[in-house]
Amino acid sequence: MPQNRSEVGFGVPKQMITFRLASAITATTDPLLRFYARTGMTPLSFRICPLTVFDRADGNETYTLSVRAGGVTISTANTPVTTAGNMLTAEATFAPGVRIAKDAVVELVVTLGGTTPSIPAGSLVTFEYLEG
């Protein structure tokens, strides 16, 4: 049984890379973040949670997140946020068993669509994974 919310499985600690956007994103950002996996990892989620509502001026804006490792997209559920709904979080998830190899280049990508998409400055960006 996990001892706290930061542990999953058999007491394996969940790791997070978390940061806030210094400025708004108004165009596709490929990549938003690039890093090297210092150890093998199992990705859990990649999400952006804004402090304010995503731009909904025209009602046709979309926000899609994806993750690449070694140049290959590994996220399977690239869940877009459409501005017609009230969703405030965009998230990419992964199929069970997906692994990122040690020393792989990992890239977090944000794809924006529509007339005037915008993710506000200060939005929280989180990539969660299990190390090992």
Provide CB contacts within 8 A for 19, sequence distance 6+.
Answer: 33, 124, 125
Provide the edge-to-edge strand list for the sheet that holds 7-8: 7-8, 12-20, 124-131, 41-49, 90-93, 77-79
The total of other beta-carbon atoms located within 10 Å of residue 118's CB is 18
Please give the pLDDT value at position 34.
Answer: 94
pLDDT tens for 50-107 read 755 655 666 677 778 889 999 999 997 666 555 444 445 778 888 888 999 999 999 9
N-to-C CA span, the chain:
19
Q: Does domain 22-131 have CATH number 2.60.120?
A: yes
The answer to whether residue 42 scores a pLDDT higher than 60 is yes
Mean pLDDT of all residues belonging to the chain? 80
Q: Which range (8-12, 70-74, 94-98, 124-128) has the least confidence?
A: 8-12
The arithmetic mean of pLDDT across residues 111-130, rounded, is 85
pLDDT of 9 > 60? The answer is: no
Domain ranges of the chain: 22-131
pLDDT band at 3 (very low <50, low <70, confident <90, very high): very low
The token pair that represents 112 in the structure block: 């924006």
